[in-house]
Structure 1
Amino acid sequence: MRRLPALIPALISALISAAALAATTTAPAAEAKALPAPVACNGCWKPALNTSWQWQLSSLPTKPYPNVQMFDIDGFAAKDGAIVKSLKADKPGRGVVCYISAGTYEDWRPDASQFPSEVLGKPLEDWPGERWLDVRKYTGKLGQIMKARLDMCKAAGFDAVEPDNVDGYANDSGFPLKAADQLAYNTWFANEAHKRGLSVALKNDVEQIPALLPYFDFAVNEECWEHTECTTAQNDDYGYDQFVKAGKAVFNVEYNLATSAFCAKSNAQNFNSLKKKYELDAYRVPCRGA
């Protein structure tokens, strides 16, 4: 689902003291030290840098399937495993990714009644029935719900998981979420996926790429070309080129741009980019390959 960043970068005053500057430069290191060690996912399916794909969430794929190497589909819609099995039988070696929301409550999901009221935050603009979650509470009931969702993905035969909305700290969530809170939750989630033999995609959360890169196996992004935030050259400290440099695939979707405005740039970065509609139905225009 399309997620636009809600934070406006603060202006830095010329009168900041040297002590304050030292504090800001040491804070990220302190946060990084508090993170758990990454859990290895030896033997997990991991997409190659150049991987053709389809991202279809509003419905399940139907035959004849596009001749792509990876499908990313809704986990709850495919929880019986039938479509996952069919997609794999259609093309041996094809990876199938389980989409779930890890940072929001969705009132239409079958486990919606399990979410305690204290973890439910503000509604998401333009997404009826969806509310931000207090991800700081992952050590309690919220974590149990997410573990059950990962178990569902594993039982259905998925190879990987795409957790959406893992950037609540950068939005008006209704909770005082900090960058460190998001890092703690995202690394915990990635480790839990790996414990189950599932590779895991980092969805958006562009600013935290440097810290999260060791935990995530590939990346899924929406609209980084439209918002001029795809590469380290654009952002100074973070960018999806860091995934590619680490040998990890990047999957990008643009909705509003013409393919002529982003495909050449994506191909030059070795990104796997598509033009899609907001509905995320079967429509797709790939920048390269099938």
Structure 2
Amino acid sequence: MRRLSTFLAAVAVAATSLVVTSGPSSAAVTLPPLRGVLDYQIGGAYTPASNVQIVIRDVSASPASGKYNVCYINAFQAQEGHDGDWQSDLLLRDANGNKVVDPDWNETLLDLRTADKRTRVAAKVNTWIDQCASKGYQAIEPDNYDSYTRSLSLLTAAQAQEYIKLLSAYAHSKNLAIGQKNTPELAGNRVANGLDFAVTEECGEWEECGDYAGPFANRVLDIEYTDSGRAAACAEWSGRISIVQRDLLVVPAGTSGYVRKTC
């Protein structure tokens, strides 16, 4: 996991973006620029470099002027400290009634085991998608698609895909593209699931970039967190996919620990 006007943004990316019909909604969306220079700003917004074409920011932030903007939302887990924002039965619990928590980020997983619960979770997440659309974003990045792999086998890949189909249909109805976050094992199902591009973490480090590049026709936004991962991604994929290295906490420029490097 991990973490403007609409007219100006559209003009800036028109030469490299593609308007497509994708997903169950059959709505037209604008894809990220192919091989566009990327900045990943989910830990805090700052002015991107002039050559940056694609910016990913948290839903709480405003888009960057003149760029293609992707709106980050945590769609499969509750933000740390925000379990109370969810109805209790939508928080995943084990047989003993204990909440199932992502140990890396201390986030409770959302319960997607029934169609009713998936619909109810999606209804809340759709309000964030509405915010993305109203602010002028062109796409969304729903994080933690792979949360089923951390669910103590309580959730399945099939349930995750049925849920993301709800999000993709709604995003497309708002003329927003939607990215698949990580989860290379499901990349081959991207058309059926209504997913338009990929946002990957450390595909160079884990030698997974090809798992996404094929199904998504190289429309891949890769974030690396180490020099070795960036070097591996750049050595094989520079000029084919978008690659940026950021610090693990993706802090804003000017903050201690900030890192941003490209190929």
Verify same fold: TM over 0.5. Answer: yes
- 94-103 vs 277-286, greater mean Cα deviation: 277-286
Deviations 1:224-254 (CA, angstroms, capped at 9, x unpaired): 22222222xxxxxxx1122353xx5101111
Aligned CA-pair RMSD = 2.2
DSSP 3-state at the match of 1:135: coil
Whole-Å separation in 1 of the counterparts to 2:81 and 2:231: 37
- Give 1:174 shift: 4.7
Do residues 116 (structure 1) and 107 (structure 2) align? no
Aligned counterpart in structure 2 of residue 203 of structure 1, from 173, 181, 184: 181
Q: Which has the larger radius of gyration?
A: 1
2:40 aligned residue: 55
Deviation string 1:58-105 (CA, Å, 9 cap, x unpaired) is 11113x6443111100102x2xxxx32xx22xx3xx211110011100
Q: Which residue of 2 aligns with 1:70?
A: 54
Counterpart of 1:32 in structure 2 is none
Q: In 1, distance between residues paired with 2:226 and 2:109?
A: 25
Q: How many residues align?
A: 227
Paired residues of 1:251 and 1:271 also in contact (CA < 8 A)? yes
Match of 2:205 among 226, 230, 242: 226
Amino acid corresponding to residue 55 of structure 2 in structure 1: F
- Give the conservation status (yes or no) of the 8 Å contact 2:58–2:72: yes
SS in 2 for 1:105: coil
Matches within 5 A, 1:1-290: 1-2=1-2, 38-42=24-28, 44-62=29-47, 65-76=49-60, 78=61, 83-84=62-63, 87-88=64-65, 91=66, 94-108=67-81, 113-121=84-92, 122-128=100-106, 130-137=107-114, 138-171=117-150, 173-174=151-152, 176-214=154-192, 215-231=194-210, 239-245=211-217, 249-258=219-228, 259-267=230-238, 270-281=240-251, 282=253, 283-287=259-263
Give 1:56 deviation, angstroms: 0.8
SS of structure 1 residue aligned to 2:27: coil
Structure-1-length-normalised TM-score: 0.71
CA distance in 1, matches of 2:147, 2:233: 27
* Percentage identity across paired residues of the two chains: 30
Counterpart residue type for residue 179 of structure 1? A
CA distance in 1, matches of 2:221, 2:173: 24
The amino acid that maps onto 1:103 is F
Shift of 1:166: 0.8
Letter in 2 for 1:135: L
Using the size of structure 2 for normalisation, the TM-score is 0.78
Q: 1:253 is aligned with what amino acid?
A: I
**Does structure 1 conserve the Cα–Cα contact (< 8 Å) formed by 2:179 and 2:197?**
yes
Which letter maps to 1:74? D
